[in-house]
Structure 1
């Protein structure tokens, strides 16, 4: 029997209060994991916990209020949610900007938020996984990591770095029973992307028409020709968090709707 039962596992999801992180927390709880819900403010975490408990009444959730932009924040997250068996590095930011007009400070902000937050928390969580000889670490990357958009090169560079970081951590845990992978996510129906779609398409069209226009003009390589639903990304994350993925490590797996026009990442 094939089972994605995560009963008895403790899963920490960073940036879990909305969007993809919220969907991942939902799916992990539905699979039986006890889920640590990380956010930067007590208010956002409290709201997310309420909504998650409504979505998964029999799920178990723990709030983890911590800003992973500092070593102290990463250490605090682990103190609040110790002994994580599963770590989902989901925190990320993105802002559009032409490469010649984007200052170095924006590049630095994207690298810190998209790359170093995951590095900090992973370094704090891995010792416990190594001691228990089991663990799952997933970094959330983007199609932009391998299909560089000219209007977000700074963002793309940070997501390319994530692929290297995940591969490096996988090699550092060789033979330990721990797997480390990244997920290349294509254009997804999140609040952040909805705002981006409004910026580039305009606010005059109804949402269904706006996203269709965005995909037609700005993401024409998508094979599914629609935005990806957050739960579709979460499904891959749950698989990579399970026992079924025990021989999958150091990989970059795609949930991109076929957007990346390549056989390999």
Structure 2
């Protein structure tokens, strides 16, 4: 009998200025009765990546090897030899070339590959993204009145560096919300463009996996969760977060609104 594993991340939903715990279901994984992950998958440019060794171990693979000198990975899947290299956009499976939706990645001490590739070589493997958020059953949030929202400035200064936005900023109450991708780029932090269908922006910063979920009041960096002044919000396909939340990525970072 198959078991289904729902991978979840804690999301703090701020309602009318108060914090209410919630659960965001991100991925549903099935593999012939085997619970797959101890590490949450990540999304890169719309492609879900899974940790290779953890996944293969749960699927019964015992001969995976990695050569740091050549960045080559080898293992056997259902009788077929599989060879791939870090940063390569294809893999050799049984002597045939198989294209990958995203190149093989190495970060956070692990090798990551597209989940779709695992499904190709192990048909029982399936991963589905669950869209939408739900409150924990025991929580009944009380919404008293909407949080006021007003137009924000067209530019913001971070440690003296002025960022001029092409997308609008706005205030949620007294908290300035800024476009995440534009802000990260201006601060020199590489990240893929947010895909509204993913509900999550994932990227690597200084060796740690960073995750920001739409409607979540926490910024996840590695295995730590940092509270934000307001939840991240998707508007017109753009992910917004409090300007103050960037200080979790760059310690000591402050922001101000230029006068005039």
Does TM-score exceed 0.5, indicating one fold?
Answer: no
Whichever structure has more strand as a proportion of its residues is 2
Instruction: Decide which structure has the larger Cα Rg and report it.
Output: 2
Q: Higher RCO, 1 or 2 (CA under 8 Å, sep at least 6)?
A: 1
What's the TM-score bracket when you normalise by the shorter of the two chains?
Answer: under 0.3
TM-score, L = length of structure 1: 0.26
More helix by share: 1
